[in-house]
Amino acid sequence: MASYDDPATQTIIKDLQIKFEQEYRSNPDNCIYSDYQRVMTDLHYVYRFYRARHCNPDAALDMMISTMKWRKCTVKLDHYRDYSFPIEFYKVSAVFPYEPDKSGYTTIYIRVSQHRKVPELEEYTKAFFVHVFDKVDRIHGAKGYALVFDLTSASYRNLDWDYLKFMINFGANYCPAGVKYILVLNVPWALNTFRKMVFSFLNDDYFKLIKFVNGNQIYEHIDPENVPHYLGGKCKRNYCSVPKHSMPIEELVERYGYTKDDYKRIIPVYQDALDQADEFLSTVDWNEPEDYFDTPEKDEQELQGTNYQDKNNVQVDLNDNEVVIDPATAFAVKPVDTIEFQYSLIKGRYTGLLRIENNLNKSVCFKVQSNHPNDYQVSPRFGVVKANSAVDITINLLNQDWSHWSKMNMMNRSSKFRILINTCTLNLEETTTIDQFNKQWSTKDKGIYSIIRETRLIKEFPVKMGRRDKFRQPATDLFQHKLPKWSDDLSVEDKLRCLSSSANSLESNQRKLSLMLYLMGFAYLMLFCYFLISNPSFAPSIVN
């Protein structure tokens, strides 16, 4: 492995920075600007990609590009701050940073027993997971951190293969050489069956980092004064600490695109973990982490001190460009209420249309967001509407799995689109680069207007006759393929499908066995009662 201090390695790292900058200039929309700054200023961060790809410069560059695109376009990491996530995520404490170990590495705990599979919140739980790791990684940088994968009291109800796949994929492809070691703590005997299967997903680099410990063996790596209370440690730091300005799920459900009825259905899933957290918080006066969480005040201070340069190198102060307008007359988004999706036999998919009309004498920026981004393709999803003109937007439905939409309909989960219109534009008519377009969104929220539109499917898929579902099954299911046999050569996706199928089969067989034993016991009891009634001579005598 090439050393970081080796002059040849330093030359390769700087060459990687140059190539990445060229890529960023060509496709700035695929990278968060702060990530670009980190790549260009932190040589050791670039070295981590180089080391993660076994000193292959081309593979390291590909990993850097794919990682930055994943962070920006898939996870949307730039959309989240500490206070963006609901209070319940912090109180449940399924993922949290904590005190350092004996080597000085900050620890991150993953409590499997606290994980709850809630499809409606899956996108946000994954974003929260990445956000916690990213913040620790930015703070400690080259020093790294330790991971404690805590399986204490975990059971089958906590198994979530999609989430496991996400974590493994994150560690292998999007979090290069940050973790120093992984403590797998207190593996229940019931889950030992799946240990070998799970390990088959890990590459050799991460497999070497794993250490199994049970009970007090954790103290060999972490002092008891730095171990959480629930593991028998003596640390008084509150691992359920909630950032200031965070809101409960009840107040965020509408922002996530759900209703109050969805909240009443979701919150019972977390209730036992929330009750456990309340009991923990009521026992002792725990120490809160100081100046760790983001706050709107900190963000506002950073924003007020930010100036940008236009392409003529003229300093532009964003605070001097606020415009107060009447959105009811300044622009219009059509349709007014609901985006209707009609099935096109030519395209073979559902398509909806959206139109943004700008009635101002200046250009405005727009972005289109969705609470189910993986199900739709928006074109264009961002852009500029010139003065006194309009832009037409096409939205294609990607996920045409009938069972997915039927389940969403039964749960009353509606898809929604948020159209963001920014009127605080800076020399937009003269700006053509995406980099300048992104800077328009660094203004205060006063000049950004949000408009919500719901969706509705007004035709059904091509169906087989006799189906009664509101969203019916296509005559040809293009999404279904045969489950392969298990082998070491299978892809991670197919291995997870096999593993998930095995777990579901095991759970189903356990239910059947329990039911069969119950029926057999009941049958024997009835037979025994019938035998006693029909043969009184065999009944025990009653002694006075």
Q: What is residue 168's predicted lDDT score, i.e. its pLDDT?
A: 83
Q: How many domains does the chain have?
A: 4
Q: Residue 248, exposed/middle/buried by CB under 10 A (0-12, 13-18, 19+)?
A: middle
Q: How far apart are CA 349 and CA 371, in angstroms?
A: 20
Instruction: Examine the domain organization and report whether 54 and 95 are in the same domain.
Output: no
Instruction: Examine the domain organization and report whether 49 and 81 are in the same domain.
Output: no
**136 assigned to some structural domain:** yes
Instruction: Examine the domain organization and report whether 364 and 431 are in the same domain.
Output: yes
Q: Which of 368-372, 400-404, 436-440 has the lowest mean pLDDT?
A: 400-404
**467 assigned to some structural domain:** no
Instruction: Examine the domain organization and report whether 131 and 259 are in the same domain.
Output: yes
Q: What is residue 403's predicted lDDT score, i.e. its pLDDT?
A: 57
Q: Which of 1-15, 156-170, 443-457, 466-480 has the lowest mean pLDDT?
A: 466-480
Q: How far apart are CA 321 and CA 443, in angstroms?
A: 9
Q: Residue 434: is its pLDDT beyond 50?
A: yes
Enumerate residues 6+ apart whose C-beta is below 8 A from 290: none
Per-residue b or e along 70-87, where b marks 16 or more CB atoms closer than 10 Å to that residue's CB? bbbeebebeebbbbbbbb
pLDDT band of 197, cuts 50, 70, 90: low
Q: Residue 417: is its pLDDT beyond 50?
A: yes
Could you tell me which of 102, 1, 110, 92 has the C-alpha nearest to residue 55?
Answer: 1
Tokens matching residue 262: 């969805």
pLDDT band of 518, cuts 50, 70, 90: confident
Measured torsion, CA atoms of residues 290, 296, 301, 306, in degrees rounded to the nearest 10: 130
Instruction: Examine the domain organization and report whether 408 and 275 are in the same domain.
Output: no
Contact criterion met (CB below 8 Å) for 213 and 183:
yes
Instruction: Examine the domain organization and report whether 87 and 206 are in the same domain.
Output: yes
Omega into 188 within 30° of 0, i.e. cis?
Answer: no
Element holding 223 (H helix, E strand): none
Q: How far apart are CA 96 and CA 110, in angstroms?
A: 7
Which of 128-132, 416-420, 465-469, 539-543 has the highest mean predicted lDDT (pLDDT)? Answer: 128-132
Range of the domain at 26: 7-74
**135 assigned to some structural domain:** yes
**46 assigned to some structural domain:** yes
pLDDT band of 65, cuts 50, 70, 90: very high
Q: How far apart are CA 462 and CA 460, in angstroms?
A: 7
- Find the CATH number of the domain harbouring 22: 1.10.8
**69 assigned to some structural domain:** yes
Q: Which of 170-174, 313-317, 418-422 has the lowest mean pLDDT?
A: 313-317
**486 assigned to some structural domain:** no
Instruction: Examine the domain organization and report whether 209 and 331 are in the same domain.
Output: no
Q: Residue 16: is its pLDDT beyond 70?
A: yes
Tokens matching residue 320: 């001097």
Q: What is residue 320's predicted lDDT score, i.e. its pLDDT?
A: 42
Q: What is residue 308's predicted lDDT score, i.e. its pLDDT?
A: 40
Instruction: Examine the domain organization and report whether 226 and 111 are in the same domain.
Output: yes
**497 assigned to some structural domain:** yes
Q: Residue 483, exposed/middle/buried by CB under 10 A (0-12, 13-18, 19+)?
A: exposed
Q: Residue 240: is its pLDDT beyond 70?
A: yes
Element holding 182 (H helix, E strand): strand 179-185
- Give the residue, 137 or 529, on which the prediction is more confident: 137
Q: How far apart are CA 38 and CA 44, in angstroms?
A: 10
- Domain final residue, candidates 267, 296, 325: 296
Instruction: Examine the domain organization and report whether 197 and 285 are in the same domain.
Output: yes
Which of 8-17, 197-206, 535-544 has the highest mean predicted lDDT (pLDDT)? Answer: 8-17
Enumerate residues 6+ apart whose C-beta is below 8 A from 9: 2, 3, 47, 50
- Find the CATH number of the domain harbouring 162: 3.40.525.10
Q: What is residue 187's predicted lDDT score, i.e. its pLDDT?
A: 85
| Percentage, residues of the chain above pLDDT 90 | 19
| pLDDT 10s digits, 480-493 | 445 566 666 666 66
**474 assigned to some structural domain:** no
- Domain final residue, candidates 53, 74, 95: 74
Q: What is residue 177's predicted lDDT score, i.e. its pLDDT?
A: 81
Can you list the pairs that 71-74 forms with residues at least 24 positions away whose Cβ atoms lie under 8 Å? 71/31, 71/32, 71/35, 71/130, 71/134, 71/174, 72/29, 72/30, 72/31, 72/32, 72/35, 73/30
Q: How far apart are CA 245 and CA 243, in angstroms?
A: 6
The one-letter amino acid code at 505 reads S
Q: What is residue 227's predicted lDDT score, i.e. its pLDDT?
A: 94
**Cβ of 181: how many Cβ atoms within 10 Å?**
17
Instruction: Examine the domain organization and report whether 345 and 245 are in the same domain.
Output: no
- Domain final residue, candidates 59, 74, 89: 74
Q: Residue 184: is its pLDDT beyond 60?
A: yes
Q: What is residue 213's predicted lDDT score, i.e. its pLDDT?
A: 92
Mean pLDDT of 133-159: 88
Cα-to-chain-centroid distance, residue 146: 21
Tokens matching residue 519: 């029926």
Q: Which residues pair with 395 in a beta bridge?
A: 352, 378
Instruction: Examine the domain organization and report whether 431 and 372 are in the same domain.
Output: yes
Q: How far apart are CA 96 and CA 229, in angstroms?
A: 14
Q: Residue 284: is its pLDDT beyond 80?
A: no
Instruction: Examine the domain organization and report whether 110 and 238 are in the same domain.
Output: yes
Could you tell me which of 226, 235, 243 has the C-alpha nearest to residue 280?
Answer: 235
